[in-house]
Structure 1
């Protein structure tokens, strides 16, 4: 396991000589907002390495330089969380990238296929999962644990070559372009706090409720980031919903809410929440958020939606791609609604 900057520099120099490398990370996030990077696994056709990013004095600069090397394709499976860690620690986005989970959908392996399933289908290899729930922050790690971690990138080499070859043979390589562009966009990982409310499952509709939800969720997002704790440690989702519905104007009213822990309203957080509520309610109606409802198909179009679902399934089976690559439920509802208007 690499634990010095000099060894990392040499490993990255060798990896940079290849057209592609496979990458995976192991991390912990149970008690923090930002993921704690515990391991980096990398492999090329000729080399394979495990890096200990927790090693004292280790500088990850060579790794970040490799991630920015546009001559080397960076291959991930289900890339989003790995890229988020790299973006947070290195303030850069790997480029170019290839996500085998997305590619597998285009190649007909099903929706959001897992790494284990994909390796089994491509290589007929069963991965030993007994080390899956390892605490990767603990040292030392056993040989079995390290072998398990390394398998996440060694098998990925063959999976990548198989999928890449199939995409090129079927003329579908360009189908990945849009999804890869999303994964390579800073906006994917650097969501403004003011948009945090959009991640919540919507149960509110009134503009005043949505405005309070937006302001309180933004406050929670900033607090969680600055304190590096999970969002739920700052304020639970249910509390945001209740605050948005009840709209307490002072800390006494806040303290009477069912979802607020006893005495919490007297803390600095309680005062901050009330400030957010009052600021949101003072907004002109024109500046309050509004939702466009897409939860259900328009009245009279449900039969058309069901027919479109059948056609989607038949089309995806005919062309050997996952149905979500072609369209999702919201797309079908929009198509049905447009047909009704015509």
Structure 2
């Protein structure tokens, strides 16, 4: 299973010049969220519209902005599985979300396959292949990555395009492609709002508070967020 491995900023810039010609980008990431304020991206796996795969070592590359700009470029389809995490990385890096996203998990649900189906289930049910179940619980921060880790990571994007095409075919036969477009637009809006709109209003129990109490809640929420960011700790630990 051949793929390009990118570990320097110069290599990433060169790769992005080629990726910019791709009308479709399949994307998966490996990240750790248990120990820091924001999830730490450890690896990004990519496949283009010709099936060429790349692994971006985000712990070695300092600036991933050129890559996220490619992802956010209008007109390019981004294929993911349960891709909220990937989209949040993109939004934080560029301030934008891709306009055209095909999430195979959401699409499978609309096609009557299963929802929410994990990636291995979709590979088995839709493609009839046996999924790679190794390395599901692994430390992606560890370097160097083992050959089994790399194989597992690249399998996560190797199947994205075949899954996308097979599920899109089912949706088309059911006259449900428009359902998917509507659902993806709604979902993208929800992802954007969750990171950019008054998040303190989602604190449970605030519906019965008066204006003064809401102001106090907002200040406490803001302090907690800033303190968690300063310490680089999950908010739940502050």
Question: Normalised by the shorter chain, which TM-score bucket?
Answer: 0.7 to 0.9
> Could you say which residue in structure 2 is the equivalent of 1:97?
101
Q: Distance in 2 between matches of 1:148 and 1:184?
A: 28
Q: What residue number does 1:268 align with? A: none
Match of 1:48 among 50, 53, 73: 53
TM-aligned CA deviation for residue 68 of structure 1: 2.2
Q: 1:144 maps to which residue?
A: 148
Structure-1 separation of matches of 2:201 and 2:230: 17
Deviation at 1:188, TM superposition (A): 2.9
- Cα deviations across residues 257-310 of structure 1 (Å, max 9, x unaligned)? xxxxxxxxxxxxxxxxxxxxxxxxxxxxxxxxxxxxxxxxxxxxxxxxxxxxxx
Residues 50 and 150, structure 1, Cα contact 8 Å, conserved in 2: yes
Rounded to whole Å, the distance in 1 between the matches of 2:201 and 2:226 is 11
1:64 maps to 2:64? no
Name the residue aligned to 1:230: 234
TM-fit CA distance, 1:109: 1.2
User: Unpaired segments of 5 or more residues in structure 2?
Assistant: none
8 A Cα contact 1:75 1:100, kept in partner: yes
Tell me how far apart the structure 2 counterparts of residues 33 and 169 of structure 1 sit (CA, whole Å): 44
Mapped to 1, the partners of 2:161 and 2:37 lie a distance apart of 31
CA, structure 1 residues 227+162, in 2 after alignment: closer, same or farther (shift >3 Å)? Answer: same
Alpha-carbon shift at residue 30 of structure 1 (Å):
0.7
Aligned pairs (5 A) from 1:1-342 = 1-44=5-48, 45-55=50-60, 58-185=62-189, 186-197=192-203, 200=204, 206-207=208-209, 211=214, 216-234=220-238
Write 1 or 2 for the structure with the bigger share of helix: 1
User: 2-side partners of 1:138 and 1:43: how far apart?
Assistant: 23
**Which whole-Å CA distance do the structure 2 matches of 1:2 and 1:205 have between them?**
49
Distance 1:61 1:81 in 2: 16
Give the whole-Å Cα distance in 2 for the aligned partners of 1:70 and 1:63. 14
RMSD over equivalenced CA pairs, Å: 2.4
**Alpha carbons 2:132, 2:155 under 8 Å: kept:** no
Give the TM-score taking structure 1 as reference length. 0.61
Q: TM-score, normalised by structure 2?
A: 0.85
Deviation for aligned residue 1:108 = 0.4
Q: CA deviation at 1:12?
A: 2.6
The structure with the greater share of residues assigned to strand is 2
SS of residue paired to 1:55: coil
Please state how far the C-alpha of 1:72 moved relative to its aligned partner.
Answer: 1.9
Bigger-Rg structure (1/2): 1
State the distance in 2 between where 1:228 and 1:192 align. 21
Which structure has more relative contact order (CA 8 Å, sep 6+)? It is: 2
| Structure 1, gaps ≥5 residues long | 235-342
